[in-house]
Amino acid sequence: MKIWQLVMIHLLTHTLLFFTPSSQPTNNQTSNYGVDLPVLLSFKSFITSDPTRALSSWSWDPAGNGTSTASLPVYCEWVGVACSNRRHPGHVTAIRLQGIGLAGTICPQLGNLTHLRVLDLSANNLAGEIPGSLGRCTSLHALDLGVNYLSGSMPASLGLLSKLTFLNVTHNNLTGDIPMPFSNLSALSNLSMSSNHFHGQIPSWLGNLTSLTHLELAQNGLTGHVPPGLGKMTNLVKFDIHDNKLEGPFPPSMFNISSITLLDIGFNQLSGSLPLDIGFKLPKINVLATHVNQFKGPIPASLSNASSLKYLLLRGNQYHGLIPRDIGIHGRFRSFSLGHNVLQATEPRDWDFLTSLTNCSNLGILDLEQNNLEGVMPVTIANLSKELKWIALGSNKIAGTIPAGLVAFQKLTMLILADSLFTGTLPLDIGQLPSLQYLDLSHNRFDGKIPQSLGNITQLSNLSLSNNFLDGSIPASLGNLTKLTSLDLSSNSLKGGIPQEILSIPSLTVLLNLSNNALSGSIPTQIGNLNSLSTIDLSMNKLSGEIPDAVSSCVQLNSLYLQENLLEGQIPKGFSSLRGLENLDLSNNNLAGAIPDFLQTFELLTYLNLSFNNLSGPVPNTRIFGNATIVSLAGNSMLCGGPPFLKLPSCPSHQANSTESVS
């Protein structure tokens, strides 16, 4: 889900525009240093780091320029300071020090700047609490403390700032709830408290702040219902409460606020449905995001009238019915994400929406995965925007071959067609998708060979072709995929040996799964190169020869599956280095010799299957070997001893054969 959050963060990034006073001073202040001087000097003294040296201009020589003939106090020319008050010349009206890496805390003395209209300390490294004394800056119009490390709760005293129109504390470490005194901030038009640790409920009195245009409470721990009274905020432009713990019915009144351009309620437990006339009620909607909630009902056809709609994120709900045929007709979509719902397509014309999406020349994300879409993949998919980065159509019942022309999508980074009814061979030109990072074609009916050209997609990090009817050998060219972290070719009909090249991919850290094929030959010793890999599964093949001692170099392994092969020889002594193993399955081979004693000391083992081999000699009788749910040893006729539940014959007491046991 992280990936969707990234999309949202991306599209919510904006630059701030601040109130900028334009009046010029009409008086002068020759006879004093200005009453605000001590406040600014103490502000500076609370700053512990100033990497751009912005505050180096904040200095003052009592014998020198403090009594200069300049018409305003010296500090009015300091970087980031403005004094432009007609009636009270010489008073600081704005401090703007955003994005310059200031560290330290915010000085409580700032509360003395009663003429301050703008305080912008955003995007610094300020820590500590927001001083309650700021409630005395009664001229304050804009307060931006966003993107710092501020902690503690919001001072209730800020509710006294009756002129405040802009309050942004986004992306800090603030906690507590939305203080009740904020109900007095009747001038407030922008309230941004996203990305903190605020908790408690969204108060219903927020709906009384009818000047609000921007309400951002995303990524906090807010709970309870969304109060229906919020529908009174008839000037609302952006409403963002995504990623909280809100639950219950989402108030339909919110869909009557015709000024809304962004409505993002994703990642909560809200229920509801989209009004059928939403496209007319929210004519300016640009971002409509209810992803990962419990919304039901159809996707209204009226959305095709919302001519500004660029981001439709409805993934992860229970929307049902057909996807409206003209939904893309306005041509604006950048992200069309309807995955994980119960949407239907049964007849060819139910796919008409895809043709309408070909109007969207900036479409970057097409996500329809995990729905009930049936039918043959329409060839018009090849006419979709060449800007596409993600195509996710998996877990439907889509049949047919991969349409020709895929190679035109040069910006594609993710292609998921898994778990469907696709047939035919993999396109030979698939290697000409240079940006592809994630390719999942598993659980289909693809046949033919794995194209060698796959080895040309050097950005590939996840490749799964498992559970198809692919045959032929594994192309050695896959060894060129130096960013691959996970390779799954399991459950096909692949033949031949395991190419040593693919065992030399240093980036493989997650999975190498070649199981359930017809691979033969011995396990190449290059397997020892996979020393960062956590799971190797070569089970259910025709691999023969001994298990190479080189496997002992795969020290990050937590699962090793070699069962159902033709492996022989002993369990390598070097396995004693695989202390992180949780799962080890060597069953159904021809392994001989003794069970190594060191296996008893593998603290993490929860599954050890050595059954149906020719192992012999004594079974250790301690630790995991005493636990029937961990250890399986059946079908090794020459074992003896061990815990009683194994019902093995007791070991002969002669010394003669004890040399066999490995310690």
Ligand X SMILES: *[C@@H]1O[C@H](CO)[C@@H](O)[C@H](O)[C@H]1NC(C)=O
Q: Is 239 in the site for ligand X (CB under 6 A)?
A: no
Min. distance of Cβ 412 from ligand X in angstroms? Answer: 16
Angle (nearest 5°) at CA 59 between 55 and 62:
170
Considering only 5, 112, 520, 658, the residue that binds ligand X (CB under 6 A) is 112
Span 351-410, contacts to ligand X by CB under 6 A = none
Question: Length of the chain in residues, anyone?
Answer: 663
Strands 166-168, 535-537: pairing kind? unpaired
* Residue 80 within binding range of ligand X, rule CB under 6 A: no
Stretch that binds ligand X, among 145-153, 259-267, 400-408, 549-557 (CB under 6 A): 145-153
The residue (of 20 and 307) whose beta carbon lies closer to ligand X is 20
Smallest distance, ligand X to C-beta of residue 305, A: 26
User: With binding defined as CB under 6 A, does residue 159 bind ligand X?
Assistant: yes
Out of 138, 153, 201, 208, the only residue in the binding site for ligand X (CB under 6 A) is 208
Question: In angstroms, rounded to a whole number, what is the distance separating the alpha carbons of residues 232 and 228?
Answer: 8
Contact 543, 521 (CB under 8 A): yes
Q: To the nearest whole angstrom, how small is the minimum distance from the Cβ of residue 282 to ligand X? A: 19
**By C-beta, is 145 or 384 nearer to ligand X?**
145
The binder of ligand X chosen from 189, 462, 492, 539 (CB under 6 A): 189
CB of 476 to ligand X, least distance (A): 4
Minimum CB distance to ligand X smaller for 96 or for 197? 197
* 282, 255 Cβ separation under 8 angstroms: yes
Residue whose C-alpha is closest to residue 287's, from 3, 6, 7: 7
Least distance between ligand X and beta carbon 106 (Å): 12
Name the minimum Å distance from CB 197 to ligand X.
Answer: 6
CB atoms within 10 A of CB 591: 23
Among 251, 479, 528, 572, binds ligand X (CB under 6 A): 479
User: What is the rounded distance in angstroms from the CA atom of residue 294 to the CA atom of residue 578?
Assistant: 45
> Which residue stretch of 46-54, 177-185, 285-293, 596-604 sits at the interface with ligand X (rule: CB under 6 A)?
177-185
Residue count at the site for ligand X (CB under 6 A)? 63
CB of 553 to ligand X, least distance (A): 22
Strands (E) across 594-646 are located at: 607-609, 614-619, 631-632, 638-641
- 348 in contact with ligand X (CB under 6 A): no
Give the interface segment with ligand X, choosing from 396-404, 407-415, 557-565, 623-631 (CB under 6 A). 623-631
Encoded tokens for 128: 């500590």
In this structure, the number of other CB atoms found within 10 A of the CB of residue 441 comes to: 24
Site for ligand X contains 242 (CB under 6 A): no
524 binding ligand X? (CB under 6 A): no
From the list 488, 501, 537, 564, which residue makes contact with ligand X (rule: CB under 6 A)? Answer: 501
Helix (H) or strand (E) holding 279: helix 278-281
Q: Which of residues 428-457 bind ligand X (CB under 6 A)?
A: 431, 452-453, 455-456
Residue 201 is given by DSSP the state: B
Cβ–Cβ < 8 Å for 326, 351? no
* Shortest Å, Cβ 332 to ligand X: 21
Q: Is 14 in the site for ligand X (CB under 6 A)?
A: yes
Asked whether position 28 contacts ligand X by CB under 6 A, the answer is: yes
* Beta pairing partners, 118: 94, 142
Contact 549, 578 (CB under 8 A): no
In sequence order, what DSSP letters do the residues of 383-426 get, joined into one string? GS-TT--EEE--SSEEEEPPPTTGGG-TT--EEE--SSEEEEEP
Among 9, 180, 379, 634, indicate the residue that binds ligand X (CB under 6 A): 180
Q: Could you give phi then psi for residue 642, rounded to 5 degrees?
A: 80, 180
| 526 touches ligand X (CB under 6 A) | no
Q: Helix (H, G, I), strand (E, B), or coil: what is residue 365?
A: strand
Residue 214 binding ligand X, by CB under 6 A: yes
Residue in 85, 165, 492, 535 binding ligand X, rule: CB under 6 A = 165
Single-letter code of the amino acid located at 58? W
How many CB atoms neighbour CB 637 within 10 A? 9
Query: Please, what's the b/e burial string for 72-100 (b: 16 or more CB within 10 A of its CB; e: otherwise)?
Result: bbbbbebebbbbbbeeebbbbbbbbbbeb
In degrees to the nearest 10, what's the CA dihedral of 128, 47, 141, 93? 160
Q: Residue 599, SS3?
A: helix
Select from 93, 124, 170, 356 the one that contacts ligand X (CB under 6 A): 170
CB of 604 to ligand X, least distance (A): 10
Judged by CB under 6 A, the stretch of 46-54, 396-404, 471-479, 591-599 that binds ligand X is 471-479
Distance CA 317, CA 276 (A): 17
Q: Characterize 532-567 residue by residue with b for buried, 16 or more Cβ atoms within 10 angstroms of its Cβ, and e for exposed.
A: ebbbbbbbbbebeeebbebbbbbeebbbbbbbbbeb
Q: Which of 427, 392, 384, 428 is nearest to 409 (CA)?
A: 384
Contacting residue, 138, 616, 632, 661, with ligand X by CB under 6 A: 616
Give the x/- contact pattern for ligand X in 637-656, rule: CB under 6 A.
Answer: ---------------x-x-x
Please tell me the distance from the alpha carbon of residue 203 to that of residue 171, in angstroms, as a whole number.
21
Q: Which stretch binds ligand X (CB under 6 A): 60-68, 386-394, 525-533, 562-570?
A: 60-68
Three-point CA angle 614, 620, 623, nearest 5°: 130
Distance from C-alpha of 336 to C-alpha of 367, rounded to nearest angstrom: 6
Whole-number minimum distance, CB 404 to ligand X, in Å?
16
Examine residue 122 and tell whether it contacts ligand X (CB under 6 A). Answer: yes
Q: Which stretch binds ligand X (CB under 6 A): 186-194, 291-299, 371-379, 391-399?
A: 186-194
Nearer to ligand X, 452 or 532 (CB): 452
* C-beta of 401 vs 583, nearer to ligand X: 583
- Residue number, 136 or 330, with CB nearest to ligand X: 136
User: Partners of 181 in the beta sheet?
Assistant: none
β-strand pairing of 390-392 with 118-120: unpaired
Q: What is the DSSP string of 115-141?
A: T--EEE--SSEEESBPPGGGGG-TT--
Query: Of the two residues 372 and 504, which places its CB atom closer to ligand X in the complex?
Result: 504
CB of 246 to ligand X, least distance (A): 20
Question: Is 371 or 461 the residue whose CB approaches ligand X more closely?
Answer: 461
Binding flag, residue 172, ligand X (CB under 6 A):
no
Positions touching ligand X (CB under 6 A) are 13-14, 16-17, 28, 30, 59, 61, 64-65, 71, 74, 77, 108-109, 111-112, 122, 133, 142, 146-147, 149, 151, 159, 165-166, 168, 170-171, 173, 175, 180-181, 183-184, 189-190, 192, 197, 205, 208, 214, 216, 431, 452-453, 455-456, 476-477, 479-480, 501, 606, 616, 627, 629-630, 652, 654, 656-657
